[in-house]
Structure 1
Amino acid sequence: MKKFLKSLYLTKRFFAVLFTIVGFFVLSYFFQELFGAVKLLFYIFIALFIFDILLLYRNKTGIQASRILPDKLSNGDENAIEIRIVNRFKFKVSLKIIDELPVQWQLRDFKIEAILNTSEEKKFTYHVRPTERGEYHFGNLNVFSSSILGLVSRRQQFSAEAIVPNYPSFLQLKKYDFLAFSNQLKLFGLKKIRRIGHTMEFEQIKDYTTGDDVRNLNWKATAKRNSLMVNQFQDEKSQPVYSVIDKGRVMKMPFNNLSLLDYAINATLVISNIVLRKHDKAGMFTFSRKVMDRVVAQRRKAQMHLILETLYNVETDFAESDFSRLYVDVKRHIKQRSLLLLYTNFETMDALHRQLPYLQAINKTHLLVVIFFENTELKSFMSKKATTTHQVFEKTIAEKFIFEKKLIVNELHKYGIQTILTAPENLTVNTINKYLEIKARGLL
């Protein structure tokens, strides 16, 4: 009986009809001749109420439902979750599906409404966007069924509790995976880079064919064979590429509900895969007060899995990052000249100047690329029209901060340090662009 009462819900239609009948009873107080008809109407309402309950509870199975979850969620991306519903009633039913979503999303009004015919099966897909790495706890699946009368609703609760880990954006990784060998880079905002130098190893001498670089003609071999011969080169491979992530408090700033740290983590996962596909060595480490989460740059089958698992556990410590520690660690542990992609953020010239000596020292022995972020909130604020003196003052301050970011870029270029100033949402594309440019120009 207790189980029955817990599953039985009165609908809005029930209360609407009941209040209407109560109104008629009040009206019959003034018009005695209506009382008999209203009384009959009340008995009919009670009968329909009981009949509706019998319709919904006569079939023990009622509705069958299940939720299909991915093995893991992709951070910052739209993840598809599917719900399958089968109607085992002998009549058409109206459904309201309430899924118990993880607390991280704070969704209190999530529901799906549908109508199913007899024995009909439907699939419902909804999308969620997680913005915090970690475990997401899904609760039970609740389905409320109503007959055509709609006076009561039967709740069926399906045990669908599950814990799904939220990993760095592997969907982005799949999206950009083919770019290392694709000729359609412009579709994704990537630009073709013209090779302007040679950092290549000699492979063989071959016959000249249309399209070969005439600068590679081998005149001695041409004279011997009496036909044009060219030197063929192959790219130098297995060059170390490290993603260096600043996990200090400056990287906790959120944009579109995703922190700069998570944007950097997602970009690191994608660029590491591209690096391995280009036959280079991919590695990573993080730093704040000390260097942590180190993955030595290598080319092996398990490298991407190791990087993914390491990135999953990276969290900020809200401290001010120590760039002197970074310099000492790089000097001590990275002996071969490497490409270092440093994800950090500088808001002012003073902040840059405090760390500039260490960046210069690192750039002497390695190819350093400093990647930091535009404040897109300030840009959107600047696009609004100022109507008051106070707003003009605020826009002037915002413009000063935007201009200071450009000064930081110029200051780093002055000391020969490669830079990327990017909006957070364009970080991955711009990082791939820079890597492909460095490879094409032979800077490493």
Structure 2
Amino acid sequence: MNPIHIFKQIYLSNLFFQGLAGIALTFLVGYFIPAVGPIAELLFLGFVVVFVADLVLLFSRSKPFSGDRNAPKRLSNGDENTIRIQLQNKFSFSVKVEIIDEIPHQFQLRDFGFWTDFHAGEEKSLSYDLRPTQRGAYDFGNINLFAQTKIGLVRRKLSIPAQETIPVYPSFIQMRKFEMYAISNRLTDIGVKKIRRVGHTMEFDQIKEYVRGDDIRSINWKATARANDLMVNQYQDERSQNVINVIDMGRVMKMPFDGLHLLDYAINTSLVISNIALIKDDKAGLITFSNTDSVVVKPEKKRTHIQRIQEALYNLETSFLESDYERLVLSLKKHVNQRSLILLYTNFETFSSMERQLPYLQRIAKDHMLVTIFFENTEMSKLLKQ
């Protein structure tokens, strides 16, 4: 093994300096009390022997550890993501190891590391959680280990190559969570209410016997005559409707909250709603707007369409200018030809700013069913209640 390479791997522990300080103090006492001098020399000699033995043990193998990092192929923004490290001790004795994984700079964690003990030949799987708050590419580095024997005078630095780049996508963990609720028809468990609609703007489902409470306007007289009993037409919600998420990319969406920007909350919610719409056989689409050209993903009902929406949401960034609502109106007229459910994610800093955009919202509401979603400043609300 290259001596220079060995020297670079040697790190002296606190115990080494404490022992050295104790021996120096003994020599100092020996200067005034001659009888202590030989004791100090014996201590120093023993210290050197133990130090050399510690070095020999630590460098008895050229590659004393093997391992790898097992991380997801992509991380979910705003959620806890589990990273696993698999390590095996190839020493023939027990060691104590400090593990420092080179995590991406976006997390700004300067003191990220943890200790664990390894028996001879033991293999361990360790894990930790990371919560990204920005979308984009995250670069992981090597896995650094600082191993020491039970003597503890020296630590040997080992580096396991594990460089990789992992993208952070909008919150697909939340998307899957709500997908399970939608599939199992348990959306009511989390506060989603199903409202009975009045009228016949729904698709025909089946003919069934009349029960008290059914709309008498739905009575099917021909079926009633054949069955000699009152029969009614049953309807279900119309399918293949357009559900379009419209996201404001202006400066108002730059406001941070709990580590994420308002834009990130809008993106995560859009992904969840788009996925549920596709599960329910509706068409999901996406439009963004600011003061420049927008991103448009036209509504489709294919299940694979969620990947296109996710990729479109991946690179969205806010601008530092005010959004152009007139541009949004023109974009909707150009790209959306039928009446649709428009979910508009935006924010208004003042009532006057909302009143300024109100005419454009009214124009959109004439052609579509518009739902405007804006964000409550909870910190300001708490301050006002004090």
Match of 1:196 in 2: 197
Does residue 285 (structure 1) correspond to residue 266 (structure 2)? The answer is no
* Residue-by-residue CA offset, 1:85-126 (whole Å, 9 max, x unaligned): 111111111010011111111111000101111121111111
Unaligned runs of 5+ in 2: none
CA contact (8 A) 1:74 1:167 kept: yes
Q: Give distance in 2, aligned partners of 1:236 and 1:363.
A: 20
Q: Distance in 2 between matches of 1:40 and 1:383?
A: 72
Determine if contact 1:56/1:146 at 8 Å carries over to the other structure. Answer: yes
Provide the identity percentage. Answer: 48
Q: Tell me how far 1:191 sits from its aligned partner.
A: 3.2
Q: What is the CA deviation profile of residues 192-215 of structure 1, one whole-angstrom value per residue up to 9, with x for unaligned ones?
A: 323132421224324x39899475
Distance 1:172 1:312 in 2: 15
Residue of structure 2 in register with 1:406 after alignment = none
Show the 5 A alignment for 1:79-118: 79-118=81-120
Match of 2:287, SS state, is strand
* Correspondent of 1:29 among 28, 31, 51: 31
- SS of 1:236's equivalent? coil
Deviation at 1:217, TM superposition (A): 4.6
- In structure 1, the gaps of 5 or more residues are 385-444
- TM-superposed deviation, 1:315: 1.1
Return the alpha-carbon distance in structure 1 between the equivalents of residues 176 and 87 of structure 2. Answer: 30
**2: CA distance, partners of 1:373 / 1:318:** 18
Contact 1:291-1:329 at 8 Å conserved across structures: no
Counting only pairs closer than 5 Å after superposition, residues 197-212 of structure 1 correspond to structure 2 as 197=198, 198-206=200-208, 208=209
3-state SS, counterpart of residue 58 of structure 1: coil
Question: Which moves more between the two structures, 309-318 or 217-226?
Answer: 217-226
2:56 to 49, 54, 57: 54
- Map Cα deviations across residues 16-44 of structure 1 (whole Å, 9 max, x no partner): 11111111111111111111111101100
- TM-score, normalized by length of structure 2? 0.94
Structure 1 window deviating more from structure 2 (172-181 vs 356-365): it is: 172-181
Q: 1:75·1:129 contact (CA, 8 Å) conserved in 2?
A: yes
- Determine the structure 2 residue equivalent to 1:266: 268
Whichever structure has more helix as a proportion of its residues is 1
Distance 1:32 1:212 in 2: 108
Q: CA deviation at 1:58?
A: 0.7
Cα offset, 1:228, TM superposition: 4.6
CA distance in structure 2 between the aligned counterparts of 1:379 and 1:121, rounded to whole angstroms: 52
TM-score by length of 1: 0.82
Give the total of aligned pairs.
382
* SS of structure 2 residue aligned to 1:178: helix
Q: Tell me how large the CA RMSD over aligned residues is.
A: 1.8
Aligned residues of 2:250 and 2:290 also touching (Cα < 8 A): yes
What one-letter code is carried by the residue in structure 2 that aligns with 1:194?
Answer: I
**Could you say what secondary structure the match of 2:294 adopts?**
strand
CA contact (8 A) 2:298 2:335 kept: no
Q: Tell me: CA distance 1:324–1:26, structure 2 relative to 1, closer, same or farther (3 Å).
A: same
CA gap 1:361/1:117 in 2 versus in 1, 3 angstroms? same
Q: Do the aligned partners of residues 364 and 214 (structure 1) sit closer, same or farther apart at CA in structure 2, a change above 3 Å counting?
A: closer
Distance 1:73 1:359, change over 3 A: same
Q: Name 1:392's counterpart in structure 2.
A: none
Q: How many Å apart are 1:346 and its aligned residue? A: 0.6
Q: Which of the numbers 67, 77, 80 marks the counterpart of 1:78?
A: 80
Q: In the aligned structure 1, how far is the partner of 2:347 from the partner of 2:205? A: 42
